[in-house]
Structure 1
Amino acid sequence: MTTKAIHRRYVAFSDAHYAGNLVDGAYALKLFGDVGTNLAIEMDGHEGLFAGYSSVEFLAPIRGGDVVEAEAQLVKKGNRSRTVDFELRVICRGSDDTGRSAVLESPLVAVRARGTAVIPAESK
């Protein structure tokens, strides 16, 4: 059974809304929704219904021009509930003042969260 899903995405400069090309935290939560849906489909054959986050930590900035990796990892599986840990990592940092981009030696953890999804009874 699949217990992890990963998506990689280029962060467009048009997604940056703040000084320094910073991207808002909702960007990470949207990616968590996408990768969490991917995990639910692979595990249960259904998109599931997201109930909410029990924790969210914003640890480092995400900027336009970055390449990020969003991961959803199953932590606990109940009859219909699924507890999932999410992590968003910056794996490439977008261009700096010199116009150069860089692959990071170690991914930079930008956001962590834990959430719960529910599989509708009729889809079990």
Structure 2
Amino acid sequence: MTDPETRPETQPETRPATRAAVGMRVTHRRYVPYSHAHYAGNLVDGAYSLAAFGDVATELCIVTDGDEGLFASYSDVQFRSRVQAGDVIEISAEIVRVGRRSREVDFEVRVVARGDEERGGSAARLLDPPVVATTARGVVVVP
């Protein structure tokens, strides 16, 4: 048994205050490689967008709370338009509610550029305006 007088002092755990706030936003851009095409017409499966949401949510948690956080749930996932190999997509996450440990987040994938095979195998064009491909709401938690 350890004598309380000789036991090392324990410091209370100190966590930095959260920087999470409604309206805080993180955005990623990435090229969709042809190796990710899963269906005819170089279509990419919907899981590609969900994985991208996980990546942008991880950065959002790091920025706000200094931790990668964990995804708790998705709700209202909408596949509105196709994502295909050769696209450049922009993935955003915006905090819409801040709880003590939870952050409710709106997600969106927009196609900002797309391959243009009519002009040649490596041709591409910017989309103006970008096409909203996938939206969702999710909840992440931080320790």
Return the TM-score normalized by structure 2. 0.81
Deviation of 1:97 (Å): 3.6
Deviations 1:77-119 (A, max 9, x none): 0001100000000000123243231101101000000000111
Deviations 1:40-71 (A, max 9, x none): 10001111111010110000000100000000
Residue correspondence of structure 1 range 37-48 to structure 2 within 5 A? 37-48=58-69
Residue correspondence of structure 1 range 1-124 to structure 2 within 5 A? 1=19, 3-99=24-120, 100-120=123-143
Q: In the aligned structure 2, how far is the partner of 1:26 from the partner of 1:79?
A: 29
2:119 alignment partner, SS class: coil
Q: In the aligned structure 1, how far is the partner of 2:116 from the partner of 2:36?
A: 15
1:23 alignment partner, SS class: coil
Letter in 1 for 2:127: L
Count how many residue pairs are aligned between Structure 1 and Structure 2.
120
Letter in 1 for 2:39: Y
2:53 alignment partner, SS class: helix
2:67 alignment partner, SS class: coil
Stretches of structure 1 lacking an aligned partner (at least 5 in a row):
none
Deviation of 1:75 (Å): 0.4
Q: Which has the larger radius of gyration?
A: 2
2:117 alignment partner, SS class: coil
Deviation of 1:10 (Å): 0.3
Stretches of structure 2 lacking an aligned partner (at least 5 in a row):
1-18
Cross-structure match for 2:5: none
Q: Between the two proteins, what is the percent identity of the paired residues?
A: 54
Return the TM-score normalized by structure 1. 0.93
| CA RMSD in angstroms, aligned pairs only | 1.1
Query: Larger % of strand: which?
Result: 1
